Amino acid sequence: MVESPILCQNRGVRVLIIGGTKFLGCHLSEAALAKGHELTLFNRGQTNPDLFPDAEHVQGDRLDGFGALKGRNFDAVIDTCGFFPRAVQISAKAFEDRADRYVFISSISVFDQVAVSGLKEDGHVGTIDDEANEEITDDTYGPLKALCENVVSDVFGSQALNIRPGLIVGPNDPTDRYTYWPVRFARSGEVLAPDRKAQPTQFIDVRDLAEWIVLLLEQKSGGTFNATGPEQPLTLGETLERIRVAINTEAQIAWVDTKFLEEQNVEPWSDLPFVVPYDGSADGMESVDVSKAVGTGLRFRPLEETAWDTLVWVKSEGLTELRAGLKPEREREILEAYRLWHKG
């Protein structure tokens, strides 16, 4: 039976999220419920199972199929945790005739022209020799995500939504790749940063990303989108200075020569989040074109708000050890050595 247009307009979007209780999935769930949509979460029940009592919870493993959802139809399926084409193929085929659209959370890491600025959605993506490889490394992550995109597009055609986020930041971030900076500035003192003030910098608040994805569902959109921010170009120098001012104006940034940092084996990204290779060879990954997403309604909150809310979340969770960034003792050692190196 075909539903009347009035009924379709009044009823919320029926959303199935594969995952839904960790970081982006968590914020997607919040955004969908806040807009009054009907939410079903399918996962193994191992992460935050008590969240979202207003949603339907169905336990299962995607590799075993979706028998618990047999006969169920959805307006949209959102796949937050697909990494391998084989697994994504199982879920996409399972809902080929039972969902209007399939949203796959990919990554800008699909691009293999990491030095090229302004990459649009049609930019060249990486490939992998063994497409059955299911080991995630720096070399395989992007190409595997690209293959997953192909699977979704092959099954759902124009109703496929492939979302390519950049660095996702904000409350509940399990990686601490952004969290390091608000926490470090809150600790005050001299804050080590690489002297690459002009490096382009992109990231997106997880809440902005989630709200926009829900908006795309409401708009019945399809296609592939780069999804990072902000809308206007931003440099590393501007980013860190604005976080400093938002968190603690008494902190001071010590801009350290990158040649010295290389000598000290200080790694970009892991030791110094936000920072890509010092030689600029990957700056393109921090300057992709997001105009297509902005044209559909993607909006960005001030980075100061993201920084402050992230710090508030860290304190509320009582987190003391971060997974990324320099340890305090190591940072002090490097700064002291740099002062001697600079004098010499």
Residues 245 and 329 in one domain: yes
Query: What is the model's pLDDT at position 320?
Result: 86
CATH number at residue 58: 3.40.50.720
Residues 158 and 238 in one domain: no
**pLDDT, tens digit only, all 344 positions of the chain:** 334 333 334 469 999 999 999 999 999 999 999 999 999 999 999 999 999 999 999 999 999 999 999 999 999 999 999 999 999 999 999 999 999 999 999 999 999 999 999 999 999 999 999 999 999 999 999 999 999 999 999 999 999 999 999 999 999 999 999 999 999 999 999 999 999 999 999 999 999 999 999 999 999 999 999 999 999 999 999 999 999 999 999 999 999 999 999 999 999 999 999 999 999 999 999 999 999 999 999 999 999 999 999 999 999 999 888 999 999 999 999 999 999 987 76
Residues 129 and 245 in one domain: no
- The 10s digit of each residue's pLDDT in 137-191 is 999 999 999 999 999 999 999 999 999 999 999 999 999 999 999 999 999 999 9
Predicted TM-score of the model (pTM): 0.95
Beta strand 74-79 with 56-59 is unpaired
Name the domain count of the chain. Answer: 2
- The 10s digit of each residue's pLDDT in 225-268 is 999 999 999 999 999 999 999 999 999 999 999 999 999 999 99
Residues 194 and 134 in one domain: no
Residue 89: give the domain boundaries: 5-165
Q: Look-up: residue for tokens 């080590």? A: 192
Q: What percent of the chain has pLDDT over 90?
A: 93
Phi, psi of 63 (to 5 degrees): -70, -20
Query: What is the model's pLDDT at position 1?
Result: 31
60 in any annotated domain: yes
64 in any annotated domain: yes
Q: Is the backbone of residue 90 left (phi > 0), alpha (psi -120 to 50) or beta? A: alpha
Distance CA 164, CA 110 (A): 8
250 in any annotated domain: yes
Cβ distance 128 to 83 under 8 Å?
A: no
